[in-house]
Amino acid sequence: MSQEITIKSAQAQVDEWIKTVGVRYFNELTNMAMLTEEVGELARIIARRYGEQSEKESDKGKDLGDEMADVLWVLICLANQTGVDLTEALQKNFEKKNQRDGDRHQKNPKLHD
């Protein structure tokens, strides 16, 4: 069985791949455009598979996990090239959400059946 990938190791692996196989990072604006494109591809599959749109034959074989991984890959590229430690950022984000939203959702009657 393969080793589980942590966020920190994913950032290191993407960086290594970019520097050896990919030659260099695309600039930040290019990667932002690519991230938007990848999110759009993911949205298309979700809208057609789980939403009300009919799924086109060409989309039926698409792997949802692979599309999500494409989004994650480009996001990791952006983090690496802008010096963001995603592990630290996610930990801080959990803290923020727990402080800000600790009971907000529990009190929301729309979320309870």
Q: What single string gives the DSSP state of each residue in 26-94? A: PPHHHHHHHHHHHHHHHHHHHHHHTSSSPPPGGGTT--HHHHHHHHHHHHHHHHHHHT--HHHHHHHHH
Cβ pair 31, 81 in contact under 8 A: yes
pLDDT of residue 102: 77
Number of domains in the chain: 1
| Residue 42: closest CA among 11, 73, 15, 81 | 73
Q: What is the CATH number of the domain that holds 30?
A: 1.10.287.1080
Asked if the structure places residue 98 within a domain, the reply is: no
Asked if the structure places residue 95 within a domain, the reply is: no
Asked if the structure places residue 48 within a domain, the reply is: yes
Structural domain boundaries, residue 35: 7-87
pLDDT per position as a tens digit, 6-56? 999 999 999 999 999 999 999 999 999 999 999 999 999 999 999 998 888
Asked if the structure places residue 68 within a domain, the reply is: yes
pLDDT band at 1 (very low <50, low <70, confident <90, very high): low
